[in-house]
């Protein structure tokens, strides 16, 4: 079965540094998402992306966050100046159609901000 | 706005016993409902989903869930638990538009 690939699986960074989390969605998918899960808490929606632009974003997704689809295969999440509270597991997801019918999730990137 | 409430952050059952994980939702429109499973150090995997039609839906690994509109519930069940079922389970709702909203998750422990 096709899968969403995320790299790296673990990322450690210093507070204030920029990080880029990378995702390769499934090739024929059109809708892309980032979610995050702080340890012990629920999985939270960050942003959705379609047709090369953000279609929806949550309150969490402030000016420190940005997303990009720099080429035909990658989908990245950038955090410009990381804070301690950004430490979480970040999940990328993609789907062929809308309606959340079937999101395929990657295995996540564990971000630790020190 | 949609929301999901999962009752019990931890549930323990004996191997071979019935598994019941509870989920209640809130949605202003007919919802799509999902159960996802997360095994240790892995991503989220879709167990089953309800969109329209039959209210009892069957998923992978012997799990099923029933959509009960009158109770705004979508509880997950499995007749006989297996050790390999130990994982975190997330109930989720979508308003058919775009994003999925997740519950806080229930960690299922299987006792030998």
pLDDT in tens, B49-100: 998 888 999 999 999 999 999 999 999 999 999 999 999 999 999 876 667 8
A interface mutation test: which of B6, B30, B43 has the most A CBs within 10 A? B43
Work out the percent of chain B whose per-residue pLDDT is above 90.
Answer: 68
User: Is B34 an 8 Å CB contact of chain A?
Assistant: yes
A39 confidence band (pLDDT: 50, 70, 90):
confident
Give the nearest chain B residue to A4 (CA atoms).
Answer: B43
A interface mutation test: which of B10, B91, B100 has the most A CBs within 10 A? B100
A31 vs A51: CA distance, rounded Å: 8
A23 vs A20: CA distance, rounded Å: 10
SS3 content of chain A, % helix, strand, coil (to 5): 5, 50, 45
Task: List the one residue out of A99, A17, A95 whose CA is nearest residue B29.
Answer: A99
What length does chain B have? Answer: 112
The 10s digit of each residue's pLDDT in A92-109 is 999 887 765 678 889 899
- Using the beta-carbon criterion (under 8 Å), do A56 and B45 form an inter-chain contact? no
Per-residue model confidence (pLDDT) at position B106 = 95
Per-residue model confidence (pLDDT) at position B94 = 84
Per-residue model confidence (pLDDT) at position B41 = 73
DSSP state of B79: S
- Between vectors from CA B43 to CA A34 and to CA A78, what angle results, nearest 5°? 30
Which residue in the set A41, A100, A106 is minimally distant from B43, CB to CB? A106
Peptide bond into A8 cis (omega under 30): yes
Comparing B97 with A4, the larger pLDDT belongs to: A4
Q: Could you give the count of Cα atoms lying within 13 Å of A27 in the half-sphere of its Cβ? A: 2
| Other Cβ atoms closer than 10 A to B88 | 20
- Using the beta-carbon criterion (under 8 Å), do A105 and B45 form an inter-chain contact? yes
- Between vectors from CA B104 to CA B102 and to CA B110, what angle results, nearest 5°? 115
The predicted model gives B6-29 an average pLDDT of: 93
A111 confidence band (pLDDT: 50, 70, 90):
very high
**Mean pLDDT over the full length of chain A:** 91
Per-residue model confidence (pLDDT) at position B3 = 87
For residue B79, give every residue at least 6 positions away whose Cβ sits within 8 Å of its Cβ, in sequence order, or none: B18, B62
- Between vectors from CA A20 to CA A14 and to CA A21, what angle results, nearest 5°? 110
Give the nearest chain A residue to B45 (CA atoms).
Answer: A105
Residue whose tokens read 């071979």 = B16
Which residue in the set A4, A42, A56 is minimally distant from B98, CB to CB? A56
Comparing B106 with B43, the larger pLDDT belongs to: B106
The predicted model gives B17-36 an average pLDDT of: 91
Q: Give residue B89's Cα distance to chain centre.
A: 6
What length does chain A have? Answer: 114
User: Is B35 an 8 Å CB contact of chain A?
Assistant: no
Check residue A84 and give left, alpha or beta (phi > 0: left; psi -120 to 50: alpha): alpha
User: Is B99 an 8 Å CB contact of chain A?
Assistant: yes
């Amino acid at each position: 079965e096709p899968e969403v690939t995320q790299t790296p699986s673990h990322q450690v960074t210093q507070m204030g540094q920029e990080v880029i989390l990378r995702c390769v969605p499934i090739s024929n998918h059109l809708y892309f998402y980032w979610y995050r899960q702080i340890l012990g808490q629920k999985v939270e929606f960050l942003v959705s992306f379609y047709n090369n632009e953000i279609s929806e974003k949550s309150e969490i997704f402030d000016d420190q966050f940005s997303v990009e689809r720099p080429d035909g295969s990658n989908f990245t999440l950038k955090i410009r100046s990381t804070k301690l509270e950004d430490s979480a597991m970040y999940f990328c997801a993609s789907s062929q159609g809308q309606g959340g019918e079937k999101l395929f999730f990657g295995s996540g990137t564990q971000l630790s901000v020190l | 706005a949609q929301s999901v409430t999962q009752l019990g952050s931890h549930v323990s059952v004996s191997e071979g016993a019935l598994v019941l994980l509870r989920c209640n939702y809130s949605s202003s429109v007919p919802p799509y409902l999902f159960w996802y499973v997360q095994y240790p150090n892995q991503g989220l995997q879709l167990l089953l989903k309800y969109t329209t039609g039959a209210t009892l839906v069957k998923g992978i690994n012997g799990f099923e869930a029933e959509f009960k509109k009158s109770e705004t519930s979508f509880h997950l069940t499995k007749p006989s638990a297996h050790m390999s079922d130990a994982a975190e389970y997330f109930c989720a709702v979508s308003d058919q538009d775009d994003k999925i909203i997740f519950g806080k998750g229930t960690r299922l422990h299987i006792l030998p």
